[in-house]
């Protein structure tokens, strides 16, 4: 892919998988706008990644602010070629203890905000008539049942369905839409999920044929591939990157 003048948005780009994706994009000469709520994390990322990284502070759960956010990015950079919907939240809690408010909070961030941001970015892509790439972040929680993450599981199943529907509708306009389903990746979110739960961690490791957890860089490499011309005939795919966990026994 010729990356000159390419512009990408990576949500949740201040840490973890999002930061790794932003770093990989910048290394390949893609101007990358990282969006998140933590201004310090974003500025730290900017310092690390250099002049091709542009931090934008924003809370994507404030849906009414999203059109203005996208408009300001277009005004500043002229176009958006790649959108990575990486931002998300999780909650580890017994099914019967999850409140309606907690369930809706997860779906707001993980599903509705993804839809709203994608809609506004796609409007710009269609106006420019230059195609584009959207990469959604799915999860193994959409591949099979995981206990104590009911809202997260529901949200990632929704992402898979949205990815396919978006791909069918947008591909005729040159906009490819795919999703990545990470396995157990070494991040702060994974550490929180495994905290005080060695049985859960041992079970996860035991069914991963490669015998190790992945790194954020593994997801970043996949995102770069899906964003590139090497994947120009791939759309509507949910790609597991999980060391074989989803097919392990």
Q: What is the pLDDT of residue 86?
A: 98
Q: Active site includes 152?
A: yes
Q: What is the pLDDT of residue 221?
A: 98
Q: What is the pLDDT of residue 3?
A: 67
Catalytic residue among 73, 106, 117, 152: 152
Q: What is the pLDDT of residue 122?
A: 98
Q: What is the pLDDT of residue 4?
A: 65
Contact 171, 177 (CB under 8 A): yes
Model pLDDT for residues 195-222, shown as the tens digit of each residue = 777 887 888 888 899 999 999 999 999 9
The phi and psi torsions of 138 (rounded to 5 degrees) equal -90, -150
pLDDT by residue for the chain (249 residues), tens only, comes to 556 689 999 999 999 999 999 999 999 999 999 999 999 999 999 999 999 999 999 999 999 999 999 999 999 999 999 999 999 999 989 999 999 999 999 999 999 999 999 999 999 999 999 999 999 999 999 988 888 999 999 999 999 999 999 999 999 999 999 999 999 898 876 777 677 778 878 888 888 999 999 999 999 999 999 999 999 999 999 999 999 998 887
Q: What is the pLDDT of residue 145?
A: 87
The rounded distance, in Å, linking the Cα atoms of 23 and 229 is 19
Q: What are the structural domains, with CATH classification, of the chain?
A: 7-184+216-240 (3.40.50.720)
Write the CA distances from 15 to 88, 186, 210, integer angstroms: 12, 12, 25
Q: What is the pLDDT of residue 201?
A: 81
Which secondary-structure segment (H or E) carries 53?
strand 53-57
The rounded distance, in Å, linking the Cα atoms of 73 and 189 is 29
């Amino acid at each position: 892919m010729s990356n000159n003048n390419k512009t990408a948005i990576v949500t949740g780009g201040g840490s973890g998988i999002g930061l790794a994706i932003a770093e990989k994009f910048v290394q390949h000469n893609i101007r990358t706008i990282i969006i998140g709520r933590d201004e310090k994390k974003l500025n730290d990322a900017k310092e690390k990644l250099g002049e091709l990284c542009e931090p934008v502070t924003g809370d994507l759960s404030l849906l009414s602010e999203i059109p203005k956010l996208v408009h300001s990015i277009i005004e500043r950079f002229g176009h958006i070629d790649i959108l990575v919907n990486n931002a998300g939240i999780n909650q580890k809690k017994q099914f019967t203890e999850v409140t309606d408010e907690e369930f809706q909070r997860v779906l707001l961030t993980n599903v509705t905000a993804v839809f709203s941001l994608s809609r506004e970015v796609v409007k710009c892509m269609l106006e420019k008539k230059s195609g584009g790439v959207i990469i959604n972040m799915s999860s193994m929680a959409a591949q099979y049942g995981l206990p104590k993450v009911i809202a997260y599981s529901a949200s990632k199943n929704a992402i898979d369905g949205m990815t396919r529907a978006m791909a069918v509708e947008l591909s005729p306009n040159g906009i490819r839409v795919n999703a990545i389903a990470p396995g157990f990746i070494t991040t702060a979110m994974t550490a929180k999920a495994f905290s005080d739960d060695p049985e859960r961690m041992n079970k996860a490791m035991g069914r991963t044929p490669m015998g190790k957890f992945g790194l954020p860089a593994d997801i970043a490499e996949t995102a770069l591939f899906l964003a590139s011309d090497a994947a120009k005939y791939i759309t509507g795919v949910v790609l597991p990157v999980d060391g074989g966990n989803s097919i392990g026994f």
